[in-house]
Amino acid sequence: MALDDKHWFVETAPEAGMALGLKIQARLHHEQTPFQTIEIYATEDFGKLMVIDGCVMLTSRDNFVYHEMMAHPVLFNHPDPRRVTIIGGGDCGTLREVLKHQTVEEAWQVEIDERVTRLAEEHFPELCEANHDPRAHFYFGDGIAWMAEAADASLDVIIIDSTDPVGPAEGLFGAAFYRECLRVLTPGGLLIQQSESPLLHLRILKDMYAAMRGAGYADVKTIGFPQATYPSGWWSATLARKDEMINGFREGEARAAKFVTRYYTADVHRAAFAMPAFFLEAVKAED
Amino acid sequence: MALDDKHWFVETAPEAGMALGLKIQARLHHEQTPFQTIEIYATEDFGKLMVIDGCVMLTSRDNFVYHEMMAHPVLFNHPDPRRVTIIGGGDCGTLREVLKHQTVEEAWQVEIDERVTRLAEEHFPELCEANHDPRAHFYFGDGIAWMAEAADASLDVIIIDSTDPVGPAEGLFGAAFYRECLRVLTPGGLLIQQSESPLLHLRILKDMYAAMRGAGYADVKTIGFPQATYPSGWWSATLARKDEMINGFREGEARAAKFVTRYYTADVHRAAFAMPAFFLEAVKAED
């Protein structure tokens, strides 16, 4: 059957010859910001849907997987994460997960487009429920410039929760930015970045590995997780660590965590690092 | 954008308000068999595509994940799998993976619709490359009737590689069939069944757990894996074991395996059992 514009939001991944359709009830909002086009839809079965430049950013129904996996693995992999910055993440969902960690003393959300956050407050209030936490800080502006001004060794964890590597986010996927992050990380500090689909975007992942290794990180590893409303339904995030290997995590504390998660568990944490054979082959370090 | 019938094959999951589109070059084949409608397409980026009754069965590009995960975890979970039967699996991809195991002495593929296998031989010959293995046996007919005639304690592993629980496969998802399989399994024997999307089909999974437990299996556990061309891109298979708990696997042998896999590794095996928090909550045994 064909999918018409009236009843379906459709995102095509033209480089992959595939498309995702979500059945919609109505388009609730549409605006062109200085940076991008943002739309909000009411869907039949996925709650609300935010779209930026034609790409699904999140739905009410399945964003929990992405947000939990962008926050908890990297934070439990760090021995004592106190100072955290999120680059992007304007919907505030990653910030909410980060602030579930009592070790965190200060968390910045550095989002280029304030309209993303204002629309999240209106349409996804559940993601913004930690925005008034006194540890939460907001800066609306360019993440690359923010990082360039950050002091040496001033952050334990950097989370790059950005759109795809085209448009405003392109500069967040290169060795120059990774070197800046390396300077700003404390010894043993960790960076994590959303890194697209292992099935569809292996070229981007290989380039990311090369750029992170070239920037001087001691170790790079990827975690995988399902994300139904992103192309292929299979997504990833890639960690890079300063000075040390990415080995083990605070498993006991993860098991004893007092906060609620719907996707993340300590077992899921460990499992997420088990990437498939073809992926390990593609990103293995050259000797 | 809209998706037209001419350039896109579209499968809607109406119960989930979502749809998957695959860009097509041509429809190569179309037939109505006594059981179902089968179509073969040439796609832009996923190789060939087989569709049954409007649902994606497999594509050349991503079937390896499904077929490896239907075969290797259950076989390495069994201490010594010699006699294996696949119910369904007419494309022969699961049979190919099963026959990679040297412990297997005899593997039956029991497919109701011989046309699926004949079309696989023509359009997916790589999946049929083990069909002439002397250990491979084929029966084209009803899986329920086949199982009813099988001798007590005559199979070590049963793999139910069926279509969704509507139409010809419906009877493969109920307690009566599971009880029949239990009778036919050897002590410690294992059954595995494809069990739909953890995100979209939790009701089916809960019913499956209840039916398997009710049928008398000692333990039931689910593995998850990505499958880009099935609804939500996130799929599962559920194992049930006769007499014993599903704990551990022949990890050393899995690590030392002489055959090639693209998705499966020993680490992936272990990881696949780490299902998310919401899923464990949904299927936990009632006290």
> HSE on the CB side for B79, CA within 13 Å?
7
B228 and A CB contact within 8 Å: yes
What's the pLDDT at B270?
98
* The one-letter amino acid at B282: A
User: Which pLDDT score, from 0 to 100, does residue A287 have?
Assistant: 53
C-alpha distances in angstroms, B255 versus A269, B76, B231, B251? 21, 10, 31, 6
| B102, amino acid identity | Q
The pLDDT-based confidence of B111 (bands split at 50, 70, 90) is very high
A126 touches chain B (CB under 8 A): no
Kindly state whether residues A202 and A276 are assigned to the same domain: yes
**B46-75 average pLDDT score:** 97
Of A16, A44, A229, which has the smallest distance from its Cβ to B45's Cβ?
A16
Of the candidates A119, A123, A75, the one whose C-alpha atom is nearest the C-alpha of residue A95 is A75
Interface pTM (ipTM) of the complex?
Answer: 0.95
- Tell which of B59, B76, B93 closes a domain: B59
Average pLDDT, chain B: 96
The token duo for A11 is 């995102």
Q: Residue A247 contacts by C-beta under 8 Å, 6 or more apart in sequence?
A: none
Contact A65 B1 (CB under 8 A): no
pLDDT higher than 60, residue B287: no
Determine the 3-state secondary structure of A276 from DSSP: coil
Q: Sorting pLDDT into bands at 50, 70 and 90, what band is B6?
A: confident
Contact flag A18-B46 (C-beta cutoff 8 Å): yes
Q: Name the amino acid, one letter, at A234.
A: W
CA dist., res. B47 & res. B157, Å (int): 31
Longest dimension (CA), chain B: 56
Inform me whether the pLDDT recorded for B274 exceeds 60: yes
Residue tagged 């697209």 (tokens): A196
How much is the pLDDT for A172?
Answer: 87
pLDDT at position B163: 84
Query: Which contacts of A35-42 are long-range, i.e. CB under 8 A and separated by 24 or more positions?
Result: A35/A112, A35/A113, A35/A168, A36/A113, A36/A163, A36/A167, A36/A168, A38/A113, A38/A115, A38/A116, A38/A119, A40/A119, A40/A123, A41/A9
Q: Do B277 and A264 touch (CB under 8 A)?
A: yes
Residue A215 inside a domain? The answer is yes
**Alpha-carbon span B91 to B114, nearest angstrom:** 10
Contacts of B62 in chain A (CB under 8 A): 199
- Looking at the complex, does the CB of residue B43 fall below 8 Å from at least one CB of chain A? yes
Among A residues 45-84, those touching chain B with beta carbons less than 8 Å apart: 45-46, 62, 65
- Distance, in angstroms, between B4 CA and closest chain A CA? 5
CA–CA distance, B245 with B123 (Å, rounded to integer): 40
Residue among B225, B194, B11, B179 nearest B91 (CA):
B194
| Contact residues on chain B for A263, CB-CB shorter than 8 A | 276-278
β-pair partners for B42: B26, B48
pLDDT tens-place string over residues B125-163: 999 999 999 999 999 999 999 999 999 999 999 999 998
| Residue A268: closest C-alpha in chain B | B274
A2 and B1: CB-CB below 8 Å?
no
pLDDT score at A246:
97
pLDDT in tens, A99-146: 999 999 999 999 999 999 999 999 999 999 999 999 999 999 999 999
Active site amino acids of B: 161
User: Does residue A38 lie in a domain region?
Assistant: yes
Residues of B in contact with A276 (CB under 8 A): 65, 262-265, 268
Query: Residue A35 maps to which CATH number?
Result: 2.30.140.10
Give the Cα-Cα-Cα angle A177, A183, A185 (nearest 5 degrees). 100
Contact (CB, 8 A) for B71 and B49:
no
Which chain A residues touch B234 with a CB distance below 8 Å? 226, 228, 233-234
| Tokens at B279, concatenated | 């899923």
The answer to whether position B218 is within a domain reads yes
The CATH number of the domain holding residue B130 is: 3.40.50.150
The CA distances from residue B19 to A12, A18, A21, A208, B197, in Å, are: 11, 11, 5, 31, 14
Mean of pLDDT values over B214-237: 97
Residues of chain B with Cβ-Cβ distance to A261 below 8 Å are 277
Report CB contact under 8 Å: A263, B277.
yes
Same domain, A27 and A67: no
| Closest-CA residue of chain B to A200 | B228
- Report the distance separating Cα B44 and Cα B156, nearest Å: 41
Residue B196 corresponds to which amino acid? E
SS3 state of residue A45: coil
A-chain CB neighbours of B232 within 8 Å are: 226, 228, 233
The H or E element containing residue B18 is strand B18-32
Same domain, B81 and B46: no
Q: Nearest CA of chain B to the CA of A267: how many Å?
A: 6
Instruction: Examine the domain organization and report whether A67 and A91 are in the same domain.
Output: yes
Which of helix, strand or coil describes residue B163?
Answer: coil
CB-nearest partner of B262 from A18, A227, A276: A276
Q: How close A54 gets to chain B, by Cα (Å)?
A: 9
User: Does residue B81 share a domain with residue B21?
Assistant: no
Looking at the complex, does the CB of residue A148 fall below 8 Å from at least one CB of chain B? no
B138 and B12 together in one domain: no
What span, in angstroms and rounded, lies between the C-alpha atoms of A57 and A50?
5
Residue B2 lies in a domain: no
A/B interface, count of CB pairs below 8 Å: 167
Look at residue A252 in the predicted model and tell me its pLDDT.
Answer: 98
Task: Please indicate, yes or no, whether residues A101 and A116 belong to a single structural domain of this protein.
Answer: yes
Q: Which residues form the domain of A18?
A: 8-59
Angle B202-215/B175-184 helices, nearest 10 degrees?
50
Q: Where among A59, A85, A100 does a domain terminate?
A: A59
One-letter amino acid identity for B144?
A: I
Would you say B48 and B123 are in contact if contact means Cβ atoms under 8 Å apart? yes
pLDDT at A117: 98
Cut 0.90: pTM above it: yes
In one-letter notation, the amino acid at residue A66 is Y
**How confident is the model over B166-191, as a mean pLDDT?**
92
B259 touches chain A (CB under 8 A): no
Q: Are residues B72 and B189 in the same domain?
A: yes
Residue A268, min C-alpha distance to chain B (Å): 5
Q: How far apart are CA A113 and CA A57, in angstroms?
A: 14
Which residue among B3, B15, B280 places its CB closest to the CB of A19? B3
Q: Say whether B265 and A272 touch across the interface (CB within 8 A).
A: no
Q: What is the number of other CB atoms lying within 10 angstroms of the CB of residue B212?
A: 24
Q: A103 and A120 share a domain? A: yes
Low-confidence ranges of chain A (pLDDT < 70): 1, 286-287
User: Which chain A positions have a beta carbon within 8 Å of B198's beta carbon?
Assistant: 226
Asked if the model's pLDDT at residue B170 lies above 90, the reply is no
Q: Are residues B238 and B110 in the same domain?
A: yes
CA A224-A230-A231 angle, to 5 degrees, is: 95
Q: Give B3's DSSP letter.
A: B
- Please tell me the total count of domains within chain A: 2
- Same domain as A118, residue A16: no
Separation of CA B67 from chain center? 7
CB contact under 8 A, B19 and A16: no
Region for A3 from its dihedrals, namely left if φ exceeds 0, alpha if ψ lies in -120 to 50, beta otherwise: beta
Provide, as residue numbers in chain A, all residues whose Cβ is less than 8 Å from the Cβ of B224. Answer: 226
Distance from C-alpha of B231 to C-alpha of B227, rounded to nearest angstrom = 8
Q: What is the DSSP letter of B88?
A: E
Buried b (16+ CB within 10 A) or exposed e, A200-212: bbeebbeebbebb
Do residue A13 and residue A102 come from a single domain?
no
